[in-house]
Amino acid sequence: MVITVTLNPAMDKTLSIDNFSLGNVNRISKIRYDIGGKGINVSKVLKNFDIDSNCTGFLGGIWKETFNSELNKRGISNKFVKINDDTRTNTKIVDYLNETYTDINEAGPNVTKSEMNQFLENFKELCKQGDIVVISGGVSPSISKDIYRKLIKIAKEQGAFVILDADGELLKEGIKENPDVIKPNEHELELLLNKSIENEDAIIQESKRLINNGIGKILISMGHRGAIYVTKNSVNYCKGLKVPVKSTVGAGDSMVAALVYSKINNFTDEETLKYAVASGTAAVCLEGTDACTMEQVNGYLDQLNVESRR
């Protein structure tokens, strides 16, 4: 089973505004709502890849039933812990005319100690030998920054394969339990290392050092420039494609879904990287946090080339 963890879900509200002007009255040309949060986004993509998953985390307030209804409609299993506070709303402002994408994200609800304890009990019951556990996204201010470290420890003790997609202190703490794969972008890698990284060679060297310290594999996303995939046995680079961008939200989550898909299908490192970049490319061509399909991903595979950087 694939388990995705989303401790701070959000209703993603996307506003399309041509020539968005700060401080002035703006007219919305289109509005859409998508259930979101990085783990949920991964599950949405996996479902389109014909892979079942089980979502878990926290849900509460006015959006709880909307999330449950939408997940059930998509055929995605879920075991969220009900909280008293409200699940947050994140607002995305997309200006196609000026090609700008603005995110306004709420901090998230208060999670009580008893609600957290219930989640930890449920999580331990969910994780089984051979499962793939995806832990991704941020947490609300009420949750300790070492939570991912705790979850990775639980999952690995149960014999699960763990993919971590986080940043800041959550990533710093999480890697102490040596997840099997992490997926930072360039900026997140710099924050983790507390240093600027000048070029791709530096990215590779720093990634190798992290792997020598116990992390299994590292996928570094670099936006339109593509991605680098560093493992114990290989270093591969895949250049990005120039495509019309409709939304940057969910691209990284689609890449994580590709990591899961590749693990299940026993892909090589080269194949894994190609599918990850193709999935991220397909995602940015969709509005809001709409989930890409395998058909869309396949449309980009032949256009991508993976280069060995040993």
Confidence of residue 72 (pLDDT cuts 50, 70, 90): very high
pLDDT at residue 10, rounded to an integer: 96
At residue 163, the pLDDT reads 98
Separation of alpha carbons 304 and 256, rounded Å: 18
Sorted by where each begins, the domain ranges of the chain are 2-308
Mean pLDDT of 69-87: 97
CA distance 32 to 14: 5
Q: Are the C-beta atoms of residues 271 and 221 closer than 8 Å to each other?
A: no
What distance lies between CA 40 and its chain's CA centroid?
9
pLDDT of residue 235: 97
Q: Give me the DSSP letters along 114-136.
A: HHHHHHHHHHHHH--TT-EEEEE
pLDDT at 167 over 90: yes
Q: Round to whole Å and give the CA distance between 35 and 145.
A: 24
pLDDT at residue 288 tops 80: no
- Interval 126-166: pLDDT, tens: 999 999 999 999 999 999 999 999 999 999 999 999 999 99
- Scan for tokens 């209703």, then name that residue: 11
Counting residues of the chain whose pLDDT is more than 70, the rounded percentage is 99
What's the pLDDT at 309?
84
**Three-state secondary structure call for residue 89:** strand
Residue 249, pLDDT > 80, answer no
The Cα–Cα gap between 145 and 187 comes to 19
Confidence band for 246, pLDDT divided at 50, 70 and 90: confident
285: helix, coil or strand? coil
Residue 262's identity, in one-letter code, is S
* pLDDT band per the 50, 70, 90 thresholds, residue 170: very high
Query: Which superfamily, per CATH, for 2-308?
Result: Ribokinase (3.40.1190.20)
Amino acid 309 reads R
Phi, psi (5° rounding) for residue 79?
-140, 65
Query: How many whole angstroms separate alpha carbon 40 and alpha carbon 58?
Result: 11
Output the pLDDT for position 165: 98
pLDDT band of 248, cuts 50, 70, 90: confident
Please name which of 145, 152, 106, 134 lies closest in space to residue 39, comparing C-alpha atoms: 134
Give the residue from 61, 5, 70, 2 showing the smallest Cα distance to 35: 70
146 is catalytic: no
pLDDT band at residue 96, thresholds of 50, 70 and 90?
Answer: confident
- Which distant-in-sequence residues (6+ apart) come within 8 Å of 265 by Cβ? none
pLDDT tier at 99, thresholds 50, 70, 90: confident
Which stretch of DSSP H or E encloses residue 83? strand 77-83
The pLDDT score that the predictor gives to residue 289 is 72
Residue 310 above 80 pLDDT?
Answer: no
Specify the range with the lowest mean pLDDT, choosing from 11-15, 176-180, 228-232: 11-15
Q: How far is CA 145 from the centre of its chain?
A: 18
Choosing from 253, 269, 290, 302, which is the catalytic residue?
A: 253
